[in-house]
Every structure is written in structure tokens, then in C-alpha cells.
């Protein structure tokens, strides 16, 4: 039976880089946002490539659950998910996974997100949904990692993460080839340009961009949820 790792993130985090990191392992299969089609089919969010995304993925939650539950091709399955895609999943579905919450300071997160979607909402950025999922799961084994901590010392945080997941750390996780991977979703062309130009965990210069004035209220709304999660995260 495979170890199934469910990485729950907000957008404009380094979730794609972590997916690429796990994809370097010989024992691991990665899956890119399998519930994205379900999420878009349920609401009117105007995401780039919306129609193409819906066409490329199952739009039924049960169908996705069945596929993930039956996976047994490799010892480890790494699933990259956005929190707002899965917030309505039943606890018994989430409980089948080893859940890893990936968080990011909402100031650079929102500043980055606003470059693609100019008027993001608290729902778009995911941190409130991450917090609510964390509370709903009430799982003492759930793991929280902060992207800032990871970027400061990738090997140290990944080693600690692997120890908690009860898998061996693999140095291959620290780097990858430039460009995409075959598991990328069709939305990669809209969102993955930075990671496609990278070969490892490197802080982007754009991380220091200023927060647009109209997004300050959103930052103030999001920060308490981030602070609560960060207090429980793996530290260097």
C-alpha cells in the first residue's frame, strides 16, 4: 500500500517546487491539483484557462477520490492540492492521507497573486481555508511547513519533513532540471513560469514586490490565520 501525501497549499506558494522536489524521487508519483476541475465546475471563479482546465480533469469529487484511493503503482504518492479546491471534502477522505499544510506569509503571497488576478479574495489565496481544514481535521500528525523556512534551508526542512512522513530523505529532492514535468496540469502555462526557470529552491526576486494598496485589507484579514498556522510549523 502506498504512502499518500496530501500537500495542502495556497496559490503563489512554492507548492509546485515541492511537487517537483518529490517528483525527483524514484519511489514517488506526483499528481498536480486533481480536484481543480471539480472546484471550477462548482463555482464561477474566472481562473486563467478555466474551460481548458475543466475539460482536462474529472469534475466529480467521488471519481477523483476513487482514483487516488486505489493508487498503488509506487511506494509514495504525492498529491499537490490547493486548500480552496478541497475545503468541502469529507473528513474521512482527507484522513486517508498524510496531510502536509504548506503556508506562506500573506504579504508576498497576495502581492504575487495580484499579478495574475488583480483583485484576489480571501477565498482565492487559500490561507483561511488551510486554517479551517487544519482545525476540521484535528489530526495531531498533520504537518505544517512554511515556505520562508524552507527557502532559508531546504535540506534541513525537507529532512525534517521526511522524518515526520516516515520516508527516507533523498538528496535528489534538492534540485531538478529546468523546464516543466510531465505531470504538470494544463494551467502550468499561466502559473508555473518561475519554477520552470528554476533548478531548485531559490527565493524569487519578485518576492519583495510591494503589496498593491487595494490589497492591504485582504492582508489584514489573512494574517491572523497565517500566524496561527506558522506557530505550529516546522522551524529551522
Q: Look up the CATH number of the domain holding residue 85.
A: 3.40.50.300
Range with lowest mean pLDDT among 100-109, 143-152, 208-217: 208-217
Query: Is 236 within a domain?
Result: no
Query: Is 171 within a domain?
Result: yes
Q: What is the mean pLDDT of residues 9-34?
A: 94
Max mean pLDDT among 45-59, 122-136, 221-235 falls in: 221-235
Give the pLDDT of residue 138. 92
Q: Is the CB of residue 31 less than 8 Å from the CB of residue 77? A: yes
Query: Is 154 within a domain?
Result: yes
- What the block records as the C-alpha cell of 136 is 476540521
Query: Is 235 within a domain?
Result: no
Distance CA 165, CA 6 (A): 11
The mean of the pLDDT values for the chain is 91
Distance CA 66, CA 68 (A): 6
- Cα torsion 219, 160, 100, 234 to 10°: value is -30
Give the pLDDT of residue 206. 58
Domain that holds residue 211: 3-230
* Cα torsion angle, 41, 33, 120, 95, sign: positive
Confidence class of residue 53 from pLDDT cuts 50, 70 and 90?
Answer: very high
Q: What is the mean pLDDT of residues 92-100?
A: 92
Strand partners, 145: 102
Query: Over the stretch 192-221, which tens digit does the pLDDT of each residue have?
Result: 888 999 999 987 665 678 888 899 999 999
Q: Could you tell me how many helices (H) and strands (E) the chain has, helices first?
A: 14, 5
Distance CA 147, CA 29 (A): 22
* Cα torsion angle, 92, 98, 103, 109, sign: negative
Number of domains in the chain: 1
Query: Is 73 within a domain?
Result: yes
Give the pLDDT of residue 66. 92
Query: Is 145 within a domain?
Result: yes
Query: Over the stretch 132-147, which tens digit does the pLDDT of each residue have?
Result: 999 999 999 999 999 9
Distance CA 8, CA 48 (A): 21
pTM of the predicted model as reported, rounded to 2 decimal places:
0.92
Amino acid at each position: 500500500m502506498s504512502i499518500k501525501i496530501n500537500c495542502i497549499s495556497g496559490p503563489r506558494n512554492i507548492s509546485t517546487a515541492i511537487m517537483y522536489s518529490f517528483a525527483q524521487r524514484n519511489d514517488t508519483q506526483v499528481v498536480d491539483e486533481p480536484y481543480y476541475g471539480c472546484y471550477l465546475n462548482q463555482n464561477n471563479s474566472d481562473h486563467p484557462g478555466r474551460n481548458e482546465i475543466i475539460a482536462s480533469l474529472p469534475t466529480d469529487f467521488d471519481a477523483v477520490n476513487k482514483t487516488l484511493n486505489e493508487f498503488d503503482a509506487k511506494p509514495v504518492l504525492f498529491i499537490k492540492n490547493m486548500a480552496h479546491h478541497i475545503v468541502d471534502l469529507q473528513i474521512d477522505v482527507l484522513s486517508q492521507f498524510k496531510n502536509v499544510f504548506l503556508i506562506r506569509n500573506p504579504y508576498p503571497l497576495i502581492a504575487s497573486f495580484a499579478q495574475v488576478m488583480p483583485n484576489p479574495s480571501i477565498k482565492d489565496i487559500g490561507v483561511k481555508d488551510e486554517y479551517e481544514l487544519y482545525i476540521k481535521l484535528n489530526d495531531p500528525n498533520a504537518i505544517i511547513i512554511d515556505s520562508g523556512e524552507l527557502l532559508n534551508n531546504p535540506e534541513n526542512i525537507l529532512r525534517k519533513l521526511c522524518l515526520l512522513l516516515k520516508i527516507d530523505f533523498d538528496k535528489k529532492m534538492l534540485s531538478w532540471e529546468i523546464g516543466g514535468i510531465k505531470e504538470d496540469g494544463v494551467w502550468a502555462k499561466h502559473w508555473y513560469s518561475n519554477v520552470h526557470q528554476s533548478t531548485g529552491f531559490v527565493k524569487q526576486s519578485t518576492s519583495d514586490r510591494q503589496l498593491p494598496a487595494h490589497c492591504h485589507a485582504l492582508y489584514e484579514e489573512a494574517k491572523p490565520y497565517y500566524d496561527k498556522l506558522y506557530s505550529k510549523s516546522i522551524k529551522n
